[in-house]
Structure 1
Amino acid sequence: MSQPRKHVALLPYPLFGHITPLLQLARKISAHHDVTFMTSALRVQQLRHRGIFTAADEQHIRLVSLQDGVQESDDSEGTLGQMMELGEKTMTFTTSLFATMPAAVDPHPDVDYRHLVDQPLHRPVDVIIGDLVAFFQVELLTARGIRCFCFLSCSGLMLANKLDIGSDTPVIPDAAFFSDWEAHEDLNVTGIPKAYKDMADKYGGNFLKGFHHVAGYIVNSVEGLEEKVAKRFAEHSLTANRPVRFVAPLFAEAEGGAKNAAETAANSLVDQWLDKQKERDVVYVSFGSYAVSQKDQTLEIAKALMSLDKPFIWSLKANQQKLLSDDMKALIEQQSASSKYLVLAWTPQRRILNHPATRLFVSHVGYNSLLEAFDAGVPLVSWPMFGDQFANANMAQRLGNGLSLPATGMLFARVVPAAEVVEAVQKVGQWDKPYAEGDYTQKALEISRVVKAAARPGGSSYEAFSQLVSCDI
């Protein structure tokens, strides 16, 4: 006899680096349980406009807009201040939502929740899966009979190295968020940025008091790549008696969904362009959807790419393209499938990484980008900007499939010179060797085999997800 379907609501932090993997998880869970995906109204609009939330998704997932007032655009310049302001707004909103949303044991709370959403929930919620938004308010859910799982949109290290943080943990400067707060491979964090401490104090004084209330953890990583972290979870008192499921990779084998007109055109242009390139010759550059480089740095990157004399695709926001030289802007306006390079405001990243023309990836190493590179077997030149990206760069370098440029990102005033970028790209690319014989490429291909094996039936991630939907939820 099959188990009854639970109602699982997934609630990401309203940035696409968090939304994307949780939506991928929602798709997989929807085959086993009733799923509602809840995020800011602005993000819902963007998900539909970009074709990220597809017609197929509409058949299996209920998409609910949260009336949380989030107005930040993806094209804004990411700063710690903006992120903390977004966090404050999100925490305040979810406090109200968690206290009033219908629960199986409390289907009609005294306070109506319907002004917080664009449509009523179709049934009471049994389980919430949330990331940062849930940490401070888990007890609001458990008190009402809703079980909460904490989803880590990044590596397991991001949780494992904070398990001993408490109210007496020393405060460190906020600038540490832009350097190495997340990057401690020894699993020991000795301080907490002041902005995070202030938020913790507002919501009860304990940075991660939710650890004591969560039903379990879902990690967007592969256990075989984080054996030390997995051992930490198995031994620590806060996690040893709760399920910790490493379920990556979550993305589908093929990218789907109809894009808007501009992105459909970009898809077509990229496909045609890549098909014209030599095998394993292309440099792909992208710094993600949030962080941006200043004008001097953007010009140095342009100079480096032009001097490499290699075909490249550069994913560069429209407002950043305005910083380029007039000559380069003129070439961009006339670019075609026959151009030496492409500079686009949006790129189909997984298509590029998995195309046989691509040789290496210059990346901010946001965690989604890191996993996509791992899966594709493409080596990295890492350019971390803030937060967990430094840990991600360390992870790639530790595993041997890339190099990290030093002193990059928002904390550092230095402009990485074009010559240094060229040197790193040439060292990782090793165009003098066949692709499969490159020092970094060999490691990248080994990691790809580990990731793909984990996802296959019988693999560690496949089995972890099976346990999640059949037992944990």
Structure 2
Amino acid sequence: MTKKMIDNIEPSSGPQKPHFVLVPLFAQGHMIPMTDLACLLAARGALVTIVTSPVNSARIKSYVDRANADGLLIRLAELHFPCAEVGLPEGSENVDLVTTSEKMEKFFLAMSMLTEPLVAYLRQQWPKPTCLVCDSCNPWTRDVARELGLRRFIFHGPSCFFLLCSHNVHEYASSGDVPGDIFKPFFVPGLPQKIEVVRVQALRFFDHPGWEKFLEQKTEAEATADGLIINTFRELEAPFLDLYQSALGKTIWHIGPVSLANKEPEDAILRGDKTIAEEAERISNWLDAKDTASVIYVSFGTIVTNSPSHTLEIGTGLEASNRPFIWVIKQWDISPEVEKWLPELEERTMSRGLILKAWAPQVMILSHPSVGAFLTHCGWNSTLEAVSFGVPMITWPHLTDQFLNENLVVKVLRTGVSLKPQMKTPLVWGESEGLITREDVELAMEAVMDEGEEAQAIRQRAKQLALEAKRAMEPGGSSYESLTLMIQHALDSAVSAPDPDPDSKDATVPNV
């Protein structure tokens, strides 16, 4: 995102300046990689508009302001989010601010109601949009693209491994190769190697009762898209990219890891939430004082919750490991029981433990040489960030794509270990109990951080993948070239949109 980065990337050529409009799902794990993609596109000479809302705009504004100060052209299209119109509390503009399944349905309804405001906004823009890049969870953007005569690319946040596996499980569901019992183990069909799962761990997103109509809309929107963009790199998922592209019959561009768009420490700090900048120096100084690859980093993302008993087991396991650690605990994981116990743990581990009770600068932490392992829920952003910096993982998936991501890390890439290998049942929003123990936590940490032969092999494989990730994003690398092809395809196939009001050419971007 910095001047240094721009100098290393060739700008787009030709008289037409591409204008990409990015429409993320308003969820932190979706907005962050989309914002990274905006910086990658802008660094190639494109104008980028990110569709957002007041609450979400406030979260990424500092990051975008810094990008613009460095010479990139990124706009924020701040649309009114219709909370009151659908019966949501005001300010419920992000998935992490929605607390119940009933409210979640209203949230997605509110997202779809952005169709008309977005069409009206884009009609006024100059240069007119070249194409839309839409989160796969925003099927309503199909209507926006049709109304404006624009190409539409789908941006997928999950791994290609997950997309392929869940696709194959669905396609083979009636063939007898996939059992009807959702808890009976089977091998995912159509893969080059044996990956055993239970069906409940390999469902497509939104493949749940009550979401049938939305899943149908999502599937149709993907089938009619002009191509797919996936945050991954070829060296990581080559066979799965090829198989998924063949299965869908659509062009796939692999353009990641997009987190590597953050070349400077300030970028990593501002990414996600400007409030973490206040803590960044303290965290960095703490890490600087630790030995290389000695620190265990523990974080479970923005959505996953843990029961009080599991939180206690994690903390006790960290204490028993006698290793330095950074532990990110979300406020809603701090029950009265945990709130009473946590200060005691902090007191006992104050010389080697750092407990953070807010959003952490994860890229900054994972990129620090003192970090030697990452206990993670296996969300794809977190997984790919760990891969990018060569950090071995201890995997504890909770829901959706996280189980298949664990299989990719542990069985395919072999850059981590499972916290609980025999676990077959997804957690339900922190309600499950007794699934892990402090002994599980301690043993898993030793399995990736001791001096044994297997632990050393895991660390070496992780370091090699990090080198390949960085090469993929450099000029001539697989993801760099794939992004070039995606930009060129957008330019070559752009459909003329209605001419905007000429008076809007020099206007600043208005709030809608």
Tell me how far 1:264 sits from its aligned partner: 2.9
Distance across 1 between alignment mates of 2:404 and 2:455: 27
8 Å CA contact retained: 1:75, 1:289: yes
8 Å CA contact retained: 1:127, 1:148: yes
Deviates more, 1:281-290 or 1:2-11: 2-11
1:224 is aligned to 2:235: yes
- Picking from 407, 413, 417, the partner of 1:403 is 417
Distance across 1 between alignment mates of 2:81 and 2:343: 38
Equivalent residue runs for 1:125-136 within 5 Å: 125-136=129-140
1:98/1:86 Cα in 2 relative to 1: closer, same or farther (>3 Å)? same
1:199 is aligned to 2:214: yes
Alignment match, 2:476: 458
| Secondary structure in 1 matching 2:133 | strand
Alignment match, 1:428: 448
1:2/1:280 Cα in 2 relative to 1: closer, same or farther (>3 Å)? same
Alignment match, 2:264: 254
Taking structure 1 as the reference length, the TM-score comes to 0.81
1:245 is aligned to 2:253: yes
| Secondary structure in 1 matching 2:20 | strand
Tell me how far 1:77 sits from its aligned partner: 7.8
Tell me how far 1:332 sits from its aligned partner: 4.6
8 Å CA contact retained: 1:286, 1:364: yes
Segments of structure 2 that go 5 or more residues without pairing to the other structure are: 1-12, 84-91, 175-179, 192-198, 492-512
Tell me how far 1:140 sits from its aligned partner: 4.7
Taking structure 2 as the reference length, the TM-score comes to 0.75
1:184/1:27 Cα in 2 relative to 1: closer, same or farther (>3 Å)? farther
Distance across 1 between alignment mates of 2:255 and 2:364: 22
Distance across 1 between alignment mates of 2:231 and 2:189: 18
What is the one-letter code of the residue matched to 1:467? L
8 Å CA contact retained: 2:307, 2:433: no
Alignment match, 2:110: 89
Distance across 2 between alignment mates of 1:368 and 1:341: 25
Tell me how far 1:305 sits from its aligned partner: 0.9
1:164/1:472 Cα in 2 relative to 1: closer, same or farther (>3 Å)? farther
| Secondary structure in 2 matching 1:438 | helix
8 Å CA contact retained: 1:11, 1:133: no
Tell me how far 1:93 sits from its aligned partner: 1.6
Distance across 2 between alignment mates of 1:234 and 1:95: 29
Equivalent residue runs for 1:26-425 within 5 Å: 26-31=38-43, 32-48=45-61, 51-57=62-68, 60-69=73-82, 71=92, 83-90=104-111, 92-97=112-117, 100-102=120-122, 107=123, 121-138=125-142, 140-142=144-146, 144-161=148-165, 186=190, 192-200=207-215, 203=217, 207-236=218-247, 238-239=249-250, 243-251=251-259, 252-257=262-267, 263-321=276-334, 323-324=337-338, 326=340, 328-329=342-343, 332=346, 339-345=351-357, 346-398=359-411, 399-406=413-420, 407=423, 409-411=426-428, 413-415=432-434, 416-425=436-445
Distance across 1 between alignment mates of 2:119 and 2:100: 30
What is the one-letter code of the residue matched to 2:443? E
Alignment match, 2:36: 24
8 Å CA contact retained: 2:134, 2:141: no
1:221/1:81 Cα in 2 relative to 1: closer, same or farther (>3 Å)? farther
1:455/1:383 Cα in 2 relative to 1: closer, same or farther (>3 Å)? same
Residue by residue over 1:112-146, the C-alpha shift from the partner in whole angstroms, topping out at 9 and shown as x without a partner, is xxxxxxxx645533311011244355255135311
Segments of structure 1 that go 5 or more residues without pairing to the other structure are: 108-119, 171-175
Residue by residue over 1:152-204, the C-alpha shift from the partner in whole angstroms, topping out at 9 and shown as x without a partner, is 1121234434657999988xxxxx9x9999x9574697883223313245x5x
8 Å CA contact retained: 2:168, 2:189: no
Q: Which has the higher helix share?
A: 2
Alignment match, 1:110: none
Which structure has more relative contact order (CA 8 Å, sep 6+)? It is 2
What is the one-letter code of the residue matched to 2:381? N
1:53/1:316 Cα in 2 relative to 1: closer, same or farther (>3 Å)? farther
